[in-house]
Amino acid sequence: MTENHPIEYADFEGTIPEGHYGAGTVMIWDKGTFVTEDDAAPEDQLGNGELKIELQGKKLRGAFVLVHMGHRSGRPQEKSRWLLIKRKDEWANRRWKVDAARMDRSATSGRTLEEIAGAPRRKAA
């Protein structure tokens, strides 16, 4: 589990040095807002093992449900297993590919992880 971070971290893109918590290159993959289904409080939904939301991001849009796997099993090793499922709606698109070139770029700066890290761009072979 990751502890809460200050809201000021929401706009951070860069490299966290080795030896520090969260070391590595950080990219803002998507940015936007969400609303819960039926205006239900997120904490109430999460307490029941699922969260039904509509994402209004730059990359992810539409209805999703976050489901806690093994919620009723009572097995501690499954406490942190969650599955995000895209629901069928006007934004559903079977041709959508997470590995498309535009998905490889920051939602705020347009840079790739390599560019954020300051690594030189590789030349096409």
Cβ atoms < 10 Å from Cβ of 27:
20
CA distances from 125 to 12, 31, 105 (A): 33, 33, 21
Give the SS3 label for residue 50. Answer: strand
Per-residue confidence of the chain (125 residues) as pLDDT tens digits? 567 778 888 899 999 999 988 889 999 999 999 999 887 888 888 888 889 999 999 999 999 999 988 755 555 444 578 899 999 999 998 888 888 887 899 999 999 999 999 966 555 55
Q: Under a CB-based contact definition with an 8 Å cutoff, are residues 112 and 104 in contact?
A: yes
The domain limits of the chain are: 7-93+101-114
Cβ atoms < 10 Å from Cβ of 16:
13
pTM of the model: 0.72
Give the SS3 label for residue 65. Answer: strand
| Structure tokens, 14 | 């860069």
How would you class 64 by CB atoms within 10 Å of its CB: exposed for 0-12, middle for 13-18, buried for 19 or more? buried
